[in-house]
């Protein structure tokens, strides 16, 4: 464990508080016009998944745990567990759905990901910022509709709903952000 000031804590860090380990979900430094600057932390307790919010002065001291970032490849889902393989050793690891969280719909077979490991256990996942999926349902294109910069709802092959430009049709492959599912561009493949 390393002692750091609260303002240096970032999303994905693991900190120790009252003998328990917490994964930082969001970290925001707030500097009000009047008063003392504070750090607002939203955290998830690693042992049981309970979420908590903490407000600290930016100069408060926090114990930060050492977390190892390891490369893995996503293989498949096995019930509530997700199976990943380490490419160098071919060792497989089962990760709970709580750790994968909102990224679950964006995992595709053989996707390269990074798992944050603490004492041999996966505590969080990092996936590529963009992923490509096929549009399986959307409204048909209406003549004259493509000239405007409007969007329409669409359902992707992973089940995620997103908004796409009006010229996108069923069967089109598009690139979306894995953080929220926002449309980026038409896939170039």
Among residues 40, 64, 88, the one where a domain terminates is 64
Among residues 106, 126, 146, the one where a domain terminates is 126
| 100-132 per-position pLDDT tens digit | 888 899 999 999 999 988 888 888 888 999 999
CATH of the domain at 97: 2.40.50.140
Do 22 and 76 reside in the same domain of the chain?
no
| 19-69 per-position pLDDT tens digit | 888 888 899 999 888 888 999 999 988 877 788 999 998 888 998 888 888
Question: Would the pLDDT of 89 be above 90?
Answer: yes
- How many domains does one find in the chain? 3
Are the beta carbons of 69 and 114 closer than 8 angstroms? yes
Give just the sign of the alpha carbon dihedral 53, 59, 61, 63. Answer: positive
Are the beta carbons of 133 and 158 closer than 8 angstroms? yes
pLDDT score at 20 = 86
Q: What is the pTM of this model?
A: 0.73
Question: Would the pLDDT of 145 be above 70?
Answer: no
Please, which pLDDT band fits residue 72 given cuts at 50, 70 and 90? Answer: very high
Domain enclosing residue 158, as ranges: 130-186
Question: Would the pLDDT of 143 be above 70?
Answer: no
Among residues 10, 32, 64, the one where a domain terminates is 64
| 168-179 per-position pLDDT tens digit | 889 999 999 988
In angstroms, the Cα distances linking 177 to 90, 134, 154, 160 are: 29, 14, 15, 11
Do 37 and 15 reside in the same domain of the chain?
yes
């Amino acid at each position: 464990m390393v002692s750091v000031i609260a303002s240096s804590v970032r999303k994905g860090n693991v900190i120790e508080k009252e003998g328990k380990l917490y994964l930082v979900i969001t970290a925001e430094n707030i500097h009000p016009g009047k008063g003392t600057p504070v750090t607002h932390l939203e955290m998830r307790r690693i042992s049981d998944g309970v979420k908590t919010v903490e407000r600290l002065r930016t100069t408060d001291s926090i114990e930060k745990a050492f977390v190892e970032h390891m490369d893995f490849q996503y293989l498949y889902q096995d019930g509530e567990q997700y199976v990943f393989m380490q490419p160098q050793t071919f060792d497989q690891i089962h990760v709970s759905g709580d750790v994968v969280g909102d990224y679950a719909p964006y995992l595709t077979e053989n996707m390269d990901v990074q798992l944050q490991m603490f004492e041999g256990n996966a505590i969080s996942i990092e996936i590529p910022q963009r992923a490509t999926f096929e549009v399986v349902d959307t409204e048909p294109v209406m003549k004259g509709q493509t000239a405007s910069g409007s969007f329409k709802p669409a359902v992707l092959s992973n089940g995620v709903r997103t908004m796409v430009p009006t010229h996108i049709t069923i069967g089109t492959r598009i690139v979306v952000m894995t953080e929220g599912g926002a449309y980026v561009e038409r896939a170039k493949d």
